[in-house]
Amino acid sequence: MANVLSMDKQIAVVSMLAEGCSLRAIERITGIHRDTAMRLGVRIGKGCAAVMDAKMRDLDCHLLQFDEIWGFIGKKDKHVTVDDNPELGNVWTFCAIDAETKLVPAYKVGKRDHATANAFAQDVASRMKNRVQISTDGLRAYVDAIEKAFGADVDYGQIIKTYEQDDSLHPHRRYSAPEMVTTEKKRISGNPDMRLVSTSYIERLNATTRLHMRRLTRLTLAFSKKLENFEAAVGLHFAYYNFVKPHKAIRCTPAMEAGIERDFWSVGELVEAAS
């Protein structure tokens, strides 16, 4: 790949991928074939996952929020047949965010089941150096996963939100988020500060993720055909989010706010680190 594209062209392609451009749009703008751009994106995305794994160690986080974001590979679950590749169908990206630094310390791509939740929680726990408070929604898999990963060394609370589901009452809101009716907070383990039990930051992160990952943008023709490509795109997105993209609220990158890096990374530095 390095012999085919100059560094300037690699930076241009990776920048557009990280900012949410589709592969065909990149092809039209740069003249670089979409297959070449895809191969570059997969290679850099895998490298970004390795960079994240190496950098996100011994973290001083205190208020973590967990959630998962939906996508699909090839086709949605309702169209999957018994003869299809088991990778096809719905895919979920479990993600954590530190409410104070806005850092994303870990993520995990998989099905929305106990196995993925367990692997995700274990990964998060292995990266923390102190006791943390965790907030999640009411997904049952989180309860068992957090207990297995953290044991008694965690303060864990849930916030359960109830939404209005009858679209016939408000047909104009068919493609909008439903109205929230009630919220309920529950202490699950430890002694969490119930005032700080929230999923607002992780839900805002989900919106950022959908904006910057074309294959997660709703109601479009963009989607991944291979799990490998999807995982690479997720790795590129979160590395770009942590190290390159300035966060408006903290006026620096999450990695800088968390003390992992001293300066902003350029896309070129991200490409070099991931190569």
Please answer whether residues 63 and 49 qualify as being in contact, where contact means their C-beta atoms are separated by less than 8 angstroms: no
Please report whether residue 2 resides in a domain.
no
Q: Is the pLDDT of residue 234 over 70?
A: yes
Please report whether residue 173 resides in a domain.
yes
Q: Is the pLDDT of residue 191 over 70?
A: yes
For residue 96, the enclosing domain spans: 7-274
| Percentage above 70 pLDDT, the chain | 95
Please report whether residue 171 resides in a domain.
yes
Between 227-243 and 267-274, two packed helices, what is the crossing angle to 10 degrees? 130
The pLDDT value recorded for residue 174 is 65
Please answer whether residues 65 and 96 qualify as being in contact, where contact means their C-beta atoms are separated by less than 8 angstroms: yes
d(CA 180, CA 198): 14
Residues written for the chain: 275
The pLDDT value recorded for residue 213 is 92
Please report whether residue 1 resides in a domain.
no
Please report whether residue 20 resides in a domain.
yes
| Percentage above 90 pLDDT, the chain | 84
Average pLDDT over residues 212-219: 88
What are the structure tokens assigned to 267, written together?
A: 């896309």
Please report whether residue 153 resides in a domain.
yes
The pLDDT value recorded for residue 2 is 47
The pLDDT value recorded for residue 163 is 76
When mean pLDDT is compared across 60-74, 177-191, 258-272, the lowest value belongs to 177-191
The pLDDT value recorded for residue 164 is 73
d(CA 29, CA 211): 19
Average pLDDT over residues 256-270: 96
What are the structure tokens assigned to 219, written together?
A: 């109601």
Please report whether residue 238 resides in a domain.
yes
Please report whether residue 47 resides in a domain.
yes
| Claim: this prediction has a pTM higher than 0.85 | yes
Q: Is the pLDDT of residue 1 over 60?
A: no
Count: domains in the chain: 1
pLDDT in tens, 131-157: 999 999 999 999 999 999 999 999 999
CATH number for the domain that contains residue 107: 3.30.420.10
